[in-house]
Homo-oligomer: A and B are copies of this chain.
């Protein structure tokens, strides 16, 4: 029992990241049923789809679960209305100012967590009254901070800046890295990549296979002139890399990206033309597993790694 398990009413301080095209009700409820905190990722859902996922998740688990809401989302107000109407208890917000919705959601009794990429943003979260922060490092998949601060440098800097419950994200896919995050001062971890490849993930099977086959150097933070995003190497990645080497402008990149590429890749399984968002830790993810096994293994790995650590004698 620690500050994070107490805050959410869960057994283990492991949060499954709310990811586009991967984390619907199946994954979120599986994680919550296994003792972690599952999050439905609203970022790739129209409001009617989102409503369906929330309702199915409530039926699939009696345990606490939450939703992730990117604040730049075009149909944001509808999503927030569904959250309130369906009595969702936990909301993770990202990609925007924590001032935007925190007090509104908290008035309704909702636990609010905001995702940050630096200590300055964590301090803004504190001011906005959030209940906890996720600090996400450069190695994380998907959209990412402009400062490129890695989890190793980020977590201690956020830890010394705010006294909020702190969830580390980026590069964490095993119990050993969970232990490392705790050593750095985190109270919990958010895991994306390993759960994107989980059996219950709604990602396309071909994308899951690519994740478990990825090795070091197979992801890269790209599109920095637009919104930085970490992508898995494929034909589209190679095109972006070539364009960036040739000094593509933000407009060039927007045109190259077009519409619906993440869906095409991550959900529909076009492994050449699709945009594949994933973290560096894909190099350590070896198999497609049920979410419950992932959590069980992580807890065992954490405890095993802890047993190996020794005090250093003066």
Given A148-B220, A152-B139, CB of A177 within 8 Å of CB of B171:
no
The reply on A196 being an interface residue by CB < 8 A is no
Q: Is the CB of B119 within 8 A of A216?
A: yes
Determine the distance from Cα of A137 to Cα of B216 in the docked complex, in whole angstroms: 12
Determine the distance from Cα of A72 to Cα of B309 in the docked complex, in whole angstroms: 37
Residue among A119, A283, A311, A312 with the highest chain B CB neighbour number at 10 A: A312
Residue among A153, A179, A284 with the highest chain B CB neighbour number at 10 A: A153
A299 proximity list for chain B (CB < 8 A): 312, 314
A138 proximity list for chain B (CB < 8 A): 138-139, 150
Partner among B150, B172, B247 whose Cβ is within 8 Å of the Cβ of A139: B150
Q: Is the CB of A149 within 8 A of B280?
A: yes
Q: Which of A110-157 contact B (CB under 8 A)?
A: 118-120, 137-139, 146-154, 156-157
The reply on A255 being an interface residue by CB < 8 A is no
Determine the distance from Cα of A279 to Cα of B152 in the docked complex, in whole angstroms: 12
Number of chain copies forming the complex: 2
Q: Is the CB of B176 within 8 A of A185?
A: yes
CB distance from A239 to the nearest CB of B (A): 17
A185 proximity list for chain B (CB < 8 A): 176
A152 proximity list for chain B (CB < 8 A): 137, 139, 150-152, 170-172, 177, 180, 280-281
CB distance from A37 to the nearest CB of B (A): 15
* Chain A 201-226 interface 0/1 with B at a Cβ cutoff of 8 Å (1 = within): 00000000000000111001100000
A149 proximity list for chain B (CB < 8 A): 139, 216-217, 280, 283
A157 proximity list for chain B (CB < 8 A): 216, 283-284
Q: Is the CB of A280 within 8 A of B176?
A: no
Determine the distance from Cα of A148 to Cα of B224 in the docked complex, in whole angstroms: 15
Q: Is the CB of A216 within 8 A of B309?
A: no
Interface segment out of the listed A54-62, A256-264, A300-308? A300-308
Q: Which of A245-272 contact B (CB under 8 A)?
A: 246-247
CB distance from A67 to the nearest CB of B (A): 25
Q: Is the CB of A150 within 8 A of B150?
A: yes
Q: Is the CB of A176 within 8 A of B183?
A: yes
Determine the distance from Cα of A159 to Cα of B185 in the docked complex, in whole angstroms: 23
A216 proximity list for chain B (CB < 8 A): 118-120, 147, 149, 153-154, 157
The reply on A181 being an interface residue by CB < 8 A is yes
Determine the distance from Cα of A215 to Cα of B97 in the docked complex, in whole angstroms: 21
Q: Is the CB of B280 within 8 A of A153?
A: yes
Determine the distance from Cα of A147 to Cα of B138 in the docked complex, in whole angstroms: 13
Q: Is the CB of A312 within 8 A of B12?
A: yes
Q: Is the CB of B303 within 8 A of A306?
A: no
Residue of B at shortest CB range from A151?
B152
A2 proximity list for chain B (CB < 8 A): 310
Determine the distance from Cα of A157 to Cα of B147 in the docked complex, in whole angstroms: 25
Partner among B137, B179, B221, B246 whose Cβ is within 8 Å of the Cβ of A183: B179
Kindly list 5 other residue pairs between chains A and B, CB separation below 8 angstroms, not including A12-B312, A150-B170, A182-B309: A2-B310, A120-B216, A152-B172, A183-B309, A247-B247
